[in-house]
Structure formats: structure tokens, C-alpha cells
Structure 1
Amino acid sequence: MFINGKFLLLWLASIFAGLSISIYILVEQWYVVKTLDLKASLGVVMMATTIPRVLLMAVGGVLADRLKRSNIIFVSFLIRGLLTGCMAFFVFINQLDLWILLIFALLFGALDALFWPARDSILPLIVKREQLTRANSFMQTTKQLSVILGPVLGSILLSTISYKGVFTTIAILLVLGSLIIAKIKEQQSKKEKTFSFWQELKDGIVYVRRSTLLSTIMLIFIVVNFLFIGPLMMGIPLIVDEKIHGSALDLSYLQSSFAGGMLLGALAIGTLNPQKKRGMIAILVIGIEGFILGLLSQVNETW
């Protein structure tokens, strides 16, 4: 697997993708809270970044199933690089206000949604079948590590250079990612090129609705994200600014610790591999999450 040139290129591009999105989210949040001083608008900006990523994942899956995955990844990288380069320019001319930031957030989130389905679906085409499980595990672990390291790297850059410099750095990472992906040659999908995009998207939705298990899992996913992940992600920057009176580095510590906890949880559940009462375990974990979220309101120190 590690002597596979295409896999190594995809792995390196994935590192750039993970770092760029995690740095972008940190800088975006801190810019709204500290520079624009629009704390009440933080949720709107985060929704503009996140909702397109969630809603368009299904669209990205349909496109990845029919078009060249490498082309989708390349376009996602390149256009996001150009967008963040434009953001650096708007910061330079002091014109990056809330409405412009919202437009960039929407576009960035939408393009990021196209990247991950294409990245995941191209993997079986470039590694052998017997190596696919290991390759997937390696990619997912790398993604989590980049999400952990990204905020710390972003806060260090933010404390040493300006917002303009950080957005430029993100743009460079994304453009480098596009150049790397351009070196991966992929065979055209064997499926027919003529297809109904909307019909395939509809078929996927109908399939999920007919599956009680999938529908239940998606409903739980929506509830947990709406009532837990959303308030947590919006609350962390506000806690750092208003209660801890910290810096961007403190914000990165909290965001990285959250990502690190997700990685540890994934490793724990993979090691324990519970076979019984999985639904009860999920309900118990959700309850604990709610209790801890309540305790978060009482924190006054970064640790």
C-alpha cells in the first residue's frame, strides 16, 4: 500500500484538505468574534459553512458515482483555493464584512461537500481489494489527526501573521492539493455516461426512507447535531472570548481536544466492538453528552 504512488498522492492531498478546512473554520470563527465583533452572528456564519456541507454530501455521492472522481477532487481543491485567496484580498482592502464572509462560507462549504465523497470513492480504484480496509482506516485516522492539528497550526499562524496571511496559507494548501490530485490518472467509470441526476438522487432518498435502520440513524444524527454538536461548536468560541478571555490558541486547544476525543472514542469502540445492545449504548452516550454540555457552561479555565 505504501509503495503505491497514487495512494500516497491521495493521502498527501487528504492531509492538505483536512488541515485547510480545520484552519478555515477556526479563523472564520475568530474573525467573526474578535474582528467583526458580531458574536450574535456567529451561528449564522457557521450554518452557512456547515449546512451546504451536509446537504450536498448526497449530491457529491451521485456525482462521484458517475463522473471522474479525480476531476471532482481537483475542481474542489482549486476553486476553494481561489476563494480563500480572494478572502485574503478582501481582508487586505478591509472589505471582508459579514455578508461577503457568508457568501464565501456557503461556497467553501458546498465545494468541501463534493470533495469527501469523491475522495472516499476513488480509494477502491487505486488500491488492491485486500488492502482496502487498511487503506480506509489509514485515511480516516489521518483525517482525524489533521482535524486535531489544524486548529493549533491555525492559531499559531494567526498569532504570528495576519488574517490575510492565514487565508493565503489555506489557499496555498488547497492549490498544492489540486496539483497533487492532477497527477492521479483514473479510468473513466464503466457506468453509462447518460443518466438522470435527479432520478438517482431521488432513488437514494427513497432507499433510505424504506430502510427503518437507516432512517432511524439519520434521525438520531440530525437530533444530535442540532442539539449537541451545533451548540458546542458555536459555544466554544464564545466561551473562549467571554468567559476565559483567551486567545486564538485557547480556541485551538478546545477544538483540537474535541477532535482528539472523537478519535479516542472511535479507537475505543473499535477495540471493544460491542455486539449487543448497541442502541442502548448509543442512547446512554447521547445522555452523557447532554450532561457534559450542561457542565460546559460552568467552565472558567482553558484546561
Structure 2
Amino acid sequence: MTTVSATPAVQQAPDRPAHRDPNVLRWLAAYTSSMLGDGVYYLALSWAAVQAGTPAQAGLVMSVSALPRALLMLVGGVIADRFGPRRVVIGSDAVRCATVLAVAALLFLTSPGLWPLALLALVFGTVDAVFMPAVGALPARLTGKGQLARIQGLRGLAIRFSTVVGAPLGGLCVAVGGASAAFALAGLLIAVSVPLLVSVRVRDLPQDDTPGSTTAWRDLAAGLRHIRRHRVLAPLMLVIALGDLGFVGPLNVGLTLLADRRGWGASGVGWVLAGFGVGAGAASLLLTVRGRMPRAGLVTGCACVAGSVAIGALAFAPALAAAVGVALAVGLLAGLSGALCGALLQTQSDPACLGRVTAVAGLISLGIAPLSMPFAAGAIGAWGLGPVFVVSAVVCGLGGLVALAVPDLRRAELPG
């Protein structure tokens, strides 16, 4: 993996607003460009796979990246802590860029079939297992803890922008130049992030806190012990798990079935998702502007409970307009609780363990929670939309109740 020599530590005042900090803004530009590249890449991959094989084969290609991502995520957290998240993100983006551009050239010159697409998805999933923990650990190295909530807001805005722009941009590129052109654009967008990240300055950890003096296995075990024994992190992981398990099924499976049974069609799904996106974007903007949320633990629990009520109500929306309004509330509350959970993870963790802590949270959200989707689909077929949405809402609500019931988490604050 690409390595880069360490840059000087950040010397800025810790209370400097993140949205006015050139160092943070360079990171934000790199992150946004990389996420845009991801959006274009996934559109190009799905299109190329459908064109080269059967729908079943295309689905298999699209799912290839999930297995290495889930299996190697915890290892990725160890790597991020050992070598530093900035180095790991730069190396990961360099590998992703080179692989995507190689496939773009191959598709331009020949028609090789599905095998290069499957190999690309495998490489992406493997690199993502290292990339994602490092991405989560990097913000804590950029500025003081008092600005981490604002950084979570900025990151959320970047994600929403990339979601809105990435797929349409990829579709336009496919229409104009085919899948090879879309892959080339994805690679170039990811490439833009590399020099920006090289220019980002990071804070160094104290030497005696830096992992790497023991084996990787012991580092991993130490990170898991850090979570298990921590009075805030342990219940916070449970909150994240319950929230994601209750949220993923209704949003990814239940929403499509709800629109089909209500006769809203594909455009109705789009409008409801747009409502969710606007709400989540508003939550990110709120954190970006405020910079700090007083009584963060309490607000997280309340937002989870209120959001669970909105999730349950979505199945009973009588008309599309009502569903869009409910989805907006779900996005606002889920976006707020999710951003606060991320900020609490970063401020409560030992900085030397942050990659591993982020890896555990990522494994829950990206490895375990998606497993609920086939169960949600089967349950809807057996018992209907209403009961399944209500059960999902109860699961989400339990996460909020955990946040409210555990005193250390309920009283957790973000640094000022």
C-alpha cells in the first residue's frame, strides 16, 4: 500500500471553526471527490455487469465486494491505527483509482465479459475494509475535539451531495461514452482526492500511545476490550446496532414494497427517498452551523425514540405527500442521531484505538445490519407491511431507550 511521509502536526487553535479551517476544507474536498467517484463507480459497475451478463450474474458481481468488506473490516481498523488514518486513506484511494482506471482502459479496448468487473468489485471490497475505518478515524486528527460535531455535519453534507450528484453524473457519462467512460470519470474523481489528502496536516499521537509494538491480533483484542470496558462506547455500540437493524429493512426493502402496494410507482419511491435525503441534509446542516449540540447523549436517545415513531408511521401514510413528510422527519431524526453517535464515538474513544472503534461500528452498519433485509422482505410477505414496520420501529426505539437508560451515555457531552 502506498505510504506517505508524515507531515507536520497541526498547530492551529483548537477552537477554530472547522468550516473556516483550510486544513479541514482540504480534507472535505478530498472526501467529497472520493465519494463522488464512488457514486459514479457503482452506477458504472451495475450498468456494465447488466450489459455483460444475465441479471443473476450482474447481481452476483454487485455483491462480490460485500464479503471481503465484512470479513476484513476489523483488520482494517488495526491497520488504520498502526499506520495512521491519513496514510491508509491515501494508499486506499491510490489503489482504488488505479484499479478503476485499469478496468476503464480494458473495457475501452476489448469486451472482456464479467471477470474484470468481478475482480474490480473484489478489490474495491477488500480496500474498503481498510479505507472505511481510516476515513472514520481521520477527522479526530484534523482539529480539536470541540469541532468534531461540526465535522460530522460537514461529512454528512458531503455524503448527501455525492448521493444526489454521483449516480446521475455516472448515468450521463454512460449515455455519452459508455461504461468505460464512466469508470474513467470515477477513477479521475478518486484521483483528485490523493493530492488533496497529501496536503492535509494531521495531529500526531503521543509515541507511547501509538499501536504497533505488539502483534496485530493483540492490537485488535485491545481495541475490543477498550470498547467493552468503556462506559459510553459499549452502550453506544448497542444503540448503533439496534438503530441500524430497525432502520435498514424498512428503508431498503419495505419502502419499495410500500410504494408498489400504494400504487405510487418508482417515482413515488424517489419522492420519499428525496424527503429522507432533505431531512438528513438538514440535520447535517444544523450540526455544521451550530458546531456543538448540548446534552448530546440525551438528544441522541430522544432522536432515536422519536425517529422510531416516524418509521412506524411510514407504513400507515395514506398518501404520497404524507409519506414524503414522514420520510423527511425520519431523515432529520435519523441524521441527527447518526451524526451525534459518530461524534460521540470520536470524542469518547482513545485516539490510538479510533480506527478499531470505527471498524466495529462500520461492521455493525455495513456487515450485520444489511443481513436484516431478506428477513424483512420475507416477514412483509408473511405478515404485511404494517406489523413489520412496527416491529422495526420498536427495535429502533429500543436503541433510543438504551441511550436514555444508561446514565453515562445519557449524560455524555461533546467538548465545547
Larger radius of gyration: 2
Name the CA shift for 1:220/1:138 in 2 (closer, same or farther; >3 Å): closer
Task: Give the aligned partner of residue 41 of structure 2.
Answer: 24
The answer as to whether partners of 1:20 and 1:174 remain within 8 angstroms in 2 is yes
The answer as to whether partners of 1:52 and 1:106 remain within 8 angstroms in 2 is yes
Name the CA shift for 1:96/1:219 in 2 (closer, same or farther; >3 Å): farther
* Structure 1 residue 199: Cα displacement: 2.2
* Structure 1 residue 116: Cα displacement: 3.0
* Structure 1 residue 287: Cα displacement: 8.8
Asked whether 1:157 is paired with 2:199, we answer no
* Structure 1 residue 68: Cα displacement: 2.0
Task: Give the aligned partner of residue 63 of structure 2.
Answer: 47
* Structure 1 residue 19: Cα displacement: 0.6
* Structure 1 residue 174: Cα displacement: 1.4
Name the CA shift for 1:220/1:136 in 2 (closer, same or farther; >3 Å): closer
1:185-204 mapped onto 2 (5 Å cutoff): 185-190=201-206, 191-192=209-210, 193-204=212-223
1:287-302 mapped onto 2 (5 Å cutoff): 288=314
The answer as to whether partners of 1:144 and 1:260 remain within 8 angstroms in 2 is no
* Structure 1 residue 24: Cα displacement: 1.0
RMSD: 4.0
The answer as to whether partners of 1:16 and 1:174 remain within 8 angstroms in 2 is yes
The answer as to whether partners of 2:85 and 2:137 remain within 8 angstroms in 1 is yes
The answer as to whether partners of 1:76 and 1:115 remain within 8 angstroms in 2 is yes
Task: Give the aligned partner of residue 363 of structure 2.
Answer: none
Matched residue type, 1:214: M
Name the CA shift for 1:277/1:47 in 2 (closer, same or farther; >3 Å): same
Matched residue type, 2:180: K
1:271-290 mapped onto 2 (5 Å cutoff): 275=301, 278=304, 282=308, 285=311, 288=314
Higher relative contact order, structure no. (Cα contacts within 8 Å, ≥ 6 residues apart) = 1
* Structure 1 residue 141: Cα displacement: 1.9
The answer as to whether partners of 2:156 and 2:281 remain within 8 angstroms in 1 is no
Task: Give the aligned partner of residue 15 of structure 1.
Answer: 32
* Structure 1 residue 201: Cα displacement: 2.3
Length-normalised TM-score, structure 1:
0.74
Q: Deviations over 1:86-120 (max 9, x none)?
A: 11122123244222211110111222332232223
Q: Deviations over 1:257-302 (max 9, x none)?
A: 747625525757989x5755956964873795769x8799xxxxxx
Which consecutive residues of structure 1, in runs of 5 or more, have no partner in the other structure?
A: 297-303
The answer as to whether partners of 1:64 and 1:72 remain within 8 angstroms in 2 is yes
1:176-215 mapped onto 2 (5 Å cutoff): 176-190=192-206, 191-192=209-210, 193-205=212-224, 211=234, 214=237
Percent identity over the alignment is 22
Length-normalised TM-score, structure 2:
0.56
Which consecutive residues of structure 2, in runs of 5 or more, have no partner in the other structure?
A: 1-17, 288-298, 316-375, 386-416
The answer as to whether partners of 1:57 and 1:117 remain within 8 angstroms in 2 is yes
1:1-303 mapped onto 2 (5 Å cutoff): 1-33=18-50, 35-190=51-206, 191-192=209-210, 193-205=212-224, 211=234, 214=237, 217-218=240-241, 221=244, 225=248, 258=273, 261-262=276-277, 264-265=279-280, 267=282, 275=301, 278=304, 282=308, 285=311, 288=314
Mean alpha-carbon deviation: is it higher for 111-120 or for 147-156? Answer: 111-120
* Structure 1 residue 155: Cα displacement: 0.9
CA distance in 1, matches of 2:47, 2:174: 10
Name the CA shift for 1:127/1:188 in 2 (closer, same or farther; >3 Å): closer
* Structure 1 residue 2: Cα displacement: 3.6
